[in-house]
Structure 1
Amino acid sequence: MKEEPMNATILHESRGRIRFRLRQKQMTLAQADLLEAWIQENHGAGRSPSMSEPAASSCTTMGARQAVLNDIRHFSWQEAEQTIALPAHSSRALNREFEEKLVGKVLCKAACTLFLPPPLRIARILWHMVPLCGGACAACCRRRVKVELLDALSISISACPKATSDTAGTVMFLLEVGELLEEWTRKKSVADLARCMSLNVDRSGCATAQGEVLVPVSQIQPGMQ
């Protein structure tokens, strides 16, 4: 018979690893970050825990099995929020935003290819070419070869009379995906760098009537000393 914690169910257990599901339908991104940070703080040895927000499940490395189960049994979101300080930027939220944007671009490209007639597809391509051509003209005026100039050249060549509108649309779609990947890479790098340079301090000393005490960072209010 499987042993089940009070507020979670053990889905799978192997040598040194355990996957459990919380007794709720799903987790929010903030809850997934909070649970991951809580597991790393209490059982940080080994690999980082893997989280599944839609299934409200987590897979983590076990140290002492009974200690892990006891901690899961007494886990509560309220206590975790009071003791765990989450970073300002969530990598999980950033990845979710990138996935949604990428799926949206793919669906938009597929819908335009399947349902828009050729004249409307050409008009859409010309509409998107306007800012690219503006950036290319600005680069030429500054006598600089920039990415905007190369993008405008590639779109213009693919949209020439000997080419088809599908070719120009495909080139534009690839350029948009490249810009999205560049944006995600930049934001992810900044977030990872900020996390690596953070002090990882979850408590701070505050002066009270009884003397200086350690207070969780999440409970510090303006004006406290």
Structure 2
Amino acid sequence: MKFIIKHEIKGRLRIHAVQGRMTCAQADTLCWFLGKQEYVTDAKVYERTADAVICYTGSREEVIAVLKGFSYENTNVPENVLSSSGRELNSSFREQLITRVLLHYGSKLIIPYPVRKVWLTFKALRYIWKGLKCLARRKIEVPVLDAAAIGVSVIRGDFDTAGSVMFLLGVGELLEEWTHKKSVGDLARSMSLNVKKVWLKKDDQEVLVNASDIRHGDTVVV
């Protein structure tokens, strides 16, 4: 891998990978690879900037040599590492949040006010409909309050307030969905087995080996 050392102090390197856009899978691969090195105590990879921060003990030359020999294609990452990573989830929701904010404030500058009034009116119907369905079930819940706030603002012609309320509700729904999915992912990762060494039964003897060295047909003592 080609890289540039952007900053370094004793026991810590910050590098920049010389490549195009770094994907989440590539970032997870590099992070997993660095974490497997014995002299690396901590490693963080930032896919947006293609940077990596490496904390290590021992020789600086060893770290640089390992980085030079690294390649995404020749690194066999366990499937569960990539599937359970929350990096892609966080990146996706971050982009959605940024897009939502840009659309909200950008529309005020680009879209004419009469057009925005019509658009916000149709957008408000979704929240009002949710509130009416909640009332039909004879319940006073959050959708009723949302519908009341938005409906009153639209009736009064205060479309800026209605738009701001719907924008904040949309951001809240997005953050709620992200929090739920992130919590589920964190729980799954915390409950997954993180075993680095296992006892391999070989020739009537038990030998302690790396879990990555286990092959199909081997007998493992639990």
CA deviation map 1:114-144 (0-9, x unaligned): 2223322221122112221221122112222
Compute the displacement of 1:78 (Å): 2.7
In structure 2, the partner of 1:210 is none
In structure 1, the partner of 2:56 is 62
Return the alpha-carbon distance in structure 2 between the equivalents of residues 54 and 190 of structure 1: 24
Q: Does 1:144 align with 2:139?
A: yes
Stretch of structure 1 that moved more, 106-115 or 166-175: 106-115
Indicate if the aligned counterparts of 1:38 and 1:80 stay in contact, CA closer than 8 A: yes
Return the alpha-carbon distance in structure 2 between the equivalents of residues 125 and 150 of structure 1: 18
4+ runs of 1 displaced by more than 6 Å?
A: 202-205
Q: Does 1:196 align with 2:187?
A: no
In structure 2, the partner of 1:187 is 181
Return the alpha-carbon distance in structure 1 between the equivalents of residues 193 and 166 of structure 2: 43
Task: Find the partner of 2:44 among 43, 50, 55.
Answer: 50
Give, as a single letter, the amino acid of the residue that structure 2 aligns with 1:171: V
Give, as a single letter, the amino acid of the residue that structure 2 aligns with 1:169: G
Compute the displacement of 1:58 (Å): 0.6
Indicate if the aligned counterparts of 1:25 and 1:55 stay in contact, CA closer than 8 A: no
Note the residue ranges of structure 1 that are not aligned, 5 or more in a row: 1-5, 206-212
CA RMSD in angstroms, aligned pairs only:
3.3
In structure 2, the partner of 1:208 is none
In structure 2, the partner of 1:24 is 19
CA deviation map 1:41-99 (0-9, x unaligned): 225864x4232324432111112134323322322223322567524143221121112
Compute the displacement of 1:159 (Å): 2.1
TM-score, normalised to structure 1's length?
A: 0.77
Give, as a single letter, the amino acid of the residue that structure 2 aligns with 1:86: V
Report the 3-state secondary structure (helix = DSSP H, G, I; strand = E; otherwise coil) of the residue aligned with 2:57: coil
Return the alpha-carbon distance in structure 2 between the equivalents of residues 83 and 98 of structure 1: 25
Indicate if the aligned counterparts of 1:204 and 1:216 stay in contact, CA closer than 8 A: no
In structure 1, the partner of 2:5 is 10
Note the residue ranges of structure 2 that are not aligned, 5 or more in a row: 200-208
**Larger RCO (CA under 8 A, 6+ residues apart):** 1
Task: Find the partner of 1:37 among 32, 35, 41.
Answer: 32
Compute the displacement of 1:150 (Å): 2.0
The structure-2 alpha-carbon separation of the partners of 1:145 and 1:63, relative to structure 1 and needing over 3 Å to count, comes to farther
Q: Does 1:166 align with 2:160?
A: yes
Compute the displacement of 1:180 (Å): 1.0
CA deviation map 1:150-170 (0-9, x unaligned): 221221232232x52111111
Task: Find the partner of 1:104 among 87, 90, 99.
Answer: 99
Indicate if the aligned counterparts of 2:31 and 2:43 stay in contact, CA closer than 8 A: yes
In structure 1, the partner of 2:202 is none
Return the alpha-carbon distance in structure 1 between the equivalents of residues 32 and 86 of structure 2: 13
The structure-2 alpha-carbon separation of the partners of 1:133 and 1:21, relative to structure 1 and needing over 3 Å to count, comes to same
The structure-2 alpha-carbon separation of the partners of 1:216 and 1:62, relative to structure 1 and needing over 3 Å to count, comes to closer
Q: Does 1:115 align with 2:110?
A: yes
Return the alpha-carbon distance in structure 2 between the equivalents of residues 44 and 214 of structure 1: 16
Return the alpha-carbon distance in structure 1 between the equivalents of residues 123 and 158 of structure 2: 16
Aligned sequence identity (%): 35
Stretch of structure 1 that moved more, 138-147 or 179-188: 138-147
TM-score, normalised to structure 2's length?
A: 0.78
